[in-house]
Amino acid sequence: MALKKSELYSSLWKSCDELRGSLFFVGWDVGGWNCDKNGKSRDAIVILDAERNIVGLPWRGNLRSTINKATDTADWISHLFALCKAPTQGSSRIILAIDTPLGFSEAFVRLVTQRVNVGEIGSSDTNLYLYRQTERFLFENGLSPLSAVKDMIGSQATKGMHALARFAPLMPRCGIWSSGKRLTAIEAYPSACKNSATVAELREPFPKLGHDDLDDALTCALLAYIFEVDFNALIVPEADVPLSEGWIWVPKDVQPKPERDQRTGE
């Protein structure tokens, strides 16, 4: 019996998936290095499959020991899935969206390492030491990102950067980190997406997950999904954005928030 066209397409997609391995979208809301002592803010992980179904169970705790124990990228990925009580295949490809600053401004780095100053300092949101170009861009568009330098999230930021240095040390382009094959990582900012219709539509089928950390991790996972399947829906960095500073990936339809939101610090 001849296959229906829909059955044929389904079979072809299944064969392609088997050839390239499974695809998962992982959201990581980052807690501080010692967040096990902070009940309000901890690491949270949510994993989605290619159809945006939650895989296993959302997890919340401290990833410090997991980061320390992992021997390489594949081992770390396996640990993340194990924490969420989810099986994974060795060939699976991971898009990881991380909610924490994944760089410092070039001006700040030059000040610390070379004692080079930028001259006159103006308002906080234009301070080249406090904010990266991606954050200043968000300020210019009515949003209020936090600073890894001034807003008590240096612990979370260095934790995220440490994990990237260990498990996704390559930067093929600004704002994208990679292990080379299996893992691609980006920086997300769930609070900037609260009024995004793009994110709201994807978020609508999911219930609240029981804690803001988990809800933010879910939003991160959905941003990882958008990054993979609808890249043109995101704001991309201009050519002059320093590679070392990275980039916060947000949808083009983000709208300013009425009040400043906080990435909770320790």
pLDDT for 176-214, tens place per residue?
999 998 999 999 999 999 889 999 999 999 999 999 999
State pTM to two decimals.
0.87
Which residue reads 């209020």 in tokens?
144
Q: Half-sphere exposure (CA, 13 Å, Cβ side) for 151?
A: 19
- The residues near 173 (Cβ < 8 Å, ≥ 6 apart) are 243
CB 222 within 8 A of CB 52: yes
Q: What is the pLDDT of residue 21?
A: 61
Q: Give the number of other CB atoms < 10 A from CB of residue 210.
A: 10
Q: What is the pLDDT of residue 255?
A: 66
Domains of the chain: 23-102+153-245 (3.30.420)
Low pLDDT (below 50) residues in the chain: 1-3, 5-6, 8-10, 12-14, 16-20, 258-266
Which residue reads 């300092």 in tokens?
121
Measured between its terminal Cα atoms, the distance across the chain in Å is 64
Q: How distant, in Å, are the alpha carbons of 76, 107, 130, 175, 211 from that of 133?
A: 30, 10, 10, 12, 31
